[in-house]
Structure formats: structure tokens, C-alpha cells
Amino acid sequence: GKRMRPVLTLIGGSLFDVPANESIHAALAIEFFHNFSLIHDDIMDAAPVRRGKPTVHQKWDANIAILSGDVLFTEAYKQLAHYRDERLADLLTRFNDTAIEVCQGQQLDMDFETASSVSEEAYIEMIRLKTSVLLGCALEFGAILGRADVPTRKLLYDFGVELGIAFQIQDDLLDLYADPEKFGKQVGGDVLANKKTLLLLTAQRQADQQQDDRVKALFVMDKSEAKVETARILFNELGATDFVKAAQQQHYDKALQSLEALPLPDAKKEPLRQLAAFLVNREY
Amino acid sequence: GKRMRPVLTLIGGSLFDVPANESIHAALAIEFFHNFSLIHDDIMDAAPVRRGKPTVHQKWDANIAILSGDVLFTEAYKQLAHYRDERLADLLTRFNDTAIEVCQGQQLDMDFETASSVSEEAYIEMIRLKTSVLLGCALEFGAILGRADVPTRKLLYDFGVELGIAFQIQDDLLDLYADPEKFGKQVGGDVLANKKTLLLLTAQRQADQQQDDRVKALFVMDKSEAKVETARILFNELGATDFVKAAQQQHYDKALQSLEALPLPDAKKEPLRQLAAFLVNREY
């Protein structure tokens, strides 16, 4: 993994002069939770590979994946229990709320697989829950540890959530438009798997009857480079790619607005500005 | 369910004059955790029925059982987060350690199914982890909420753990010796399923070569009342039943020793004494 989430907690803490050896436990809680959720999600999605290696349920079995996930989840709470002062209740409350939202996001994602139609708003809400709130939580942990006031905490949380949505949309875009040399995995994987992505949902909304037939024809094409290229042509023609990029930009802008509103010296914000730019411009 | 575990927290709190409306959140945390662990265990054990009703994975599917278990686990932590003062860290630490031990107990239980031999000590350790530590945790929660000192907390915890072992052994005994009228489920279920129980493990240890052959012959008998009666005769002949009752009495005595050592007026201990007697003498 990129270990982006624990780094967010360390950076969040550094905004308020929390030393890394103090924020490390909160950072580990975030990373343990993230890996727990991947282990359980991979069972539910029957995913064979994660980070280029067999998933836990694939390498061992589903029972071991359920149980070791449960233990890893608990290990996250053990990291939080290192903070034995008045900050613990706030850390715990944010973490619990986030954990439940991540589970809700996973449930929505599974529901969408069999749903006859999914709106773009519902899709964004799904990625907000499944991915983005954890980035918000990771950053807010830094603010809680630094004893920032509630409005400041909220600005940092919102920055993380909006950035997370832009980050996840970048995943959708890269899947179809990445440079194969840089991407490191198969370009077009979502199209080949007929996955409902924001690009596809937007294309379907934009399509007239005849174009909609072409989208449906895409679903039954064999897995091939031709299928991926057909999707690219169709999505460009329907303006889906531009729409999705515009949506991404909106969330990125919102993130930066929250960042700018933070009552902190500009120099302190620079690492987050750079990280944000990296996460939505990345090519892999 | 009998809701024995949350009641232990309420009684534990009452020892230190914690009002029930204050200890209720800790009691709910225990009950939520217990139900989370049952939901996940039932997936792993492929159990179709729980409390006379279809299990979650049976009624819905394994994915929903995994995810709703994860949410219920988090809801337990949300209950703990109601305590926003200096007691929270102690509650959280005891809870985390207990949760990990319960998972370890479930793993041991699964390991034992395919193990060629299991010692009685290992079996007792398994039930200590899988069942008893949660009873200890439930009681200690009451002491933590009542701001009892660490030695007092430990006495109450130990009382719960030893009582839990005696309680679980009663389950083993009842399965074979219960009055069918009172038991509410099939008597002899463990024997019919060839389950490794403390009775069976003790019988195997006591058996000479010829008796061991009779134990092995039991495994291949058809599911019938004759199989259950054969087990009863064999276990009695080998003294397994008496051994197991003696082991149960040992843990029960240890539990009562911890209870008596508690620095509290005798009248305060009476409800726990009565509950302990009920739990190991129960006929259902």
C-alpha cells in the first residue's frame, strides 16, 4: 500500500505541533482499520489478489480472513487506547462513526452491483462513505491530538473527505486513461469487468436511445482491447470523461477551500496542498 | 438469549453503587460484542440455527453476516464512548484485550476440530478464551465504572473468568445429562455430532486400549438414541463424568474464593453468590 492514510494523521498532527512519536498510534489505528476493511471486503467481493499478492481468504480460507480481520480491527482500537487522557473520547467517537460509515459504503457498493440504475449522486455518496470519510478521520485525528477546537477539526475533516472523493474519482479515470507504462496494472480493468463506475453512470445518463444501445452492446463484448477502446470512444463522445473531470475538480476545489479556511499559517498548509495535488494528478 | 452478560455488568456496578442508568452503556457494549461474535462464529461454524431461529448468514447471506457483525462490533465501542471521563481508557483496554482473546478462543475451537489429540488443559484454555474472559470483562466493567482499585477489579474479573469456565462445563454436562423436558433442545447433540467435549477428551485419556476402541466405535455409530446412551454408559464407566464434575467444582470454588476476598460487605456479594450457584446448577 501507499500508506497514504497514516501519513495524513502524521501531517495532520504536525499542523498542531504534535510530534510524530505521539501521533503514531492514531496513524496505526487508521492503517490497521484500513487493512481490516480490505480483508473483509476482499472476502465479500471474492477478490483473489490485493497489492499483487493473494488475498487472505485466498491464501488461507474465509474463516481465517473473517477472524484475522476482527483481530486487526481490535488492534486498531488498542492503538487508540494509548491515549489515556481527555482526547480519547473524541478519537473514539470519530473512529466509531467512521467505521460504521465505511461498512455502509461497502454495503452500498455491493447493492449497486445488482441495482438496475444508480444515480451519480448515489455513487458519489457511496465513495464518500467507503473511502473518503476515513481520509477525513485520519486528518481530524491529527487535529484532535493537537487539541484543536471543533470548527478547526471540522475544516480538516472536510478537507479530507472532499479530497478523498477527488482521489477516488481519479481511480476511476486512471482505470481507463492511464499510461500502461506507469499504471502498473491492466488499463481498462473496470470496463472489462463491466463495473459500474462514475464514467459509465455519467455516460448512461447522457446517452440518447441509440447511444444507450451502444452502451448496452459494450456489456456483451468479449474481454479485449477493442472493448476498452470502444468504451473510450463512447465515453468521450458522450462527454462523460469531461463531466467526471469537472465533478472531480469541484470536490478538489471544495477540499482546498476548507484547507485555506484553516486558521493556520500558510507555510503549515503547504504539505497538505502538495499532497492534495499529488493525489488527484497521480498517474498510477 | 439469557442476557446473562449485561446483567453481570449491572450487578458488578451495583457493588460499587453505580446506578443502572450509568452502567447500562457498558452492559450494552458487552451484549453487542457477544452477539457480534455469535454472528461471525456462526458463519465460521456453518451453523444454521441460533436461539431457535435461522442464523444471520442463513437468513440473508455470508456477506451480510460479515458486515452486520462488523457494524455491531463498532456499536459496542460506541456504547463505551458514552463514558467521556478518565474511566474510558480502562474500559477500552479491558474490552480490547477481551475481544482479542475471544477471537483466539474461536480459532482454537476451530483448530481442535481437526486436531488429532487435544489435552483437557488445552480445552479448558479454549473455553476460558472463547467464553469466560467476557464474563470477567462484564463484571470488571462494573468495578471500573465504580472506580474500584486495581486489586478489587482483578478479584471481580477472576471471579467472572472462573465462573465462566464452570458455566461452560455445565453446558457440556447438560448436553448429555439434561432432563429432555427442561432442556429445550435435543439432549446428546454433542455426541451425535462427534464433538470434542471435555467429557469425551477425559474419557479418551482414561481409556485403556480396549475402551479406546469402544470410544472410536462410538464415532462411527449412526445418529440415534442408542449412540447417546452408549456414550453415557462409556463415559460413566470411564469416570469421565465424575472427573468433569470435579473440574467444574474446582473452578467454581476458585470463583467463590475471589468473591469472598472482595473487600465489600457480605450483603453486597449475595446476588453474585446466588447467580453463580444458578449458573452451575441450571438444568437448561
The answer to whether residue A46 neighbours chain B at the CB level (below 8 Å) is no
**What residue spans of chain A are helical by DSSP H?**
4-15, 20-44, 56-59, 62-80, 88-114, 120-127, 133-145, 150-177, 180-183, 189-192, 198-206, 209-220, 225-237, 240-261, 266-281
Q: Which of A28, A32, A38, A67 to mutate to test the interface with B (most CBs of B within 10 A)?
A: A67
Higher pLDDT, A72 or B283: A72
CB contact under 8 Å between A92 and B81, yes or no, is yes
CA gap B270, A249 in Å, rounded: 67
CB contact under 8 Å between B92 and A100, yes or no, is no
The answer to whether residue B46 neighbours chain A at the CB level (below 8 Å) is no
Q: Which of A85, A86, A96 to mutate to test the interface with B (most CBs of B within 10 A)?
A: A96
pLDDT, residue A31, reads 98
Selecting from B81, B103, B106 the residue whose C-beta is nearest the C-beta of A89 gives B81
Selecting from A63, A78, A99 the residue whose C-beta is nearest the C-beta of B96 gives A78
What ipTM is given for this predicted complex?
0.94
CA gap B47, B45 in Å, rounded: 5
Q: Enumerate residue ranges in chain A where pLDDT < 70.
A: 1
Query: pLDDT tens for residues B238-255?
Result: 999 999 999 999 999 999
pLDDT, residue A268, reads 96
Taking all residues of chain B, what is their mean pLDDT, rounded to a whole number?
Answer: 95
- pTM, two decimal places: 0.95
pLDDT, residue B27, reads 98
Contact residues, chain B, for A71 at CB < 8 Å: 100, 103
pLDDT, residue A181, reads 86
Please determine, for residue B112, whether its predicted confidence score (pLDDT) is greater than 90.
Answer: yes
pLDDT, residue A99, reads 98
Selecting from B70, B74, B81 the residue whose C-beta is nearest the C-beta of A40 gives B70
Bridge partners of residue B49, in order along the sequence:
B54
For chains A and B, what is the number of CB pairs under 8 angstroms? 84
**Secondary structure (DSSP) of B164-196:** HHHHHHHHHHHHHH--HHHH-S-TTHHHHTT--
CB contact under 8 Å between B77 and A100, yes or no, is no
CB contact under 8 Å between B67 and A107, yes or no, is yes
The answer to whether residue A99 neighbours chain B at the CB level (below 8 Å) is yes
Task: Enter the C-alpha cell of residue A9.
Answer: 494523521
pLDDT, residue A185, reads 79
The answer to whether residue A62 neighbours chain B at the CB level (below 8 Å) is yes
The answer to whether residue A91 neighbours chain B at the CB level (below 8 Å) is no
pLDDT, residue B61, reads 96
Give the confidence band of B105 by pLDDT, cuts at 50, 70, 90: very high
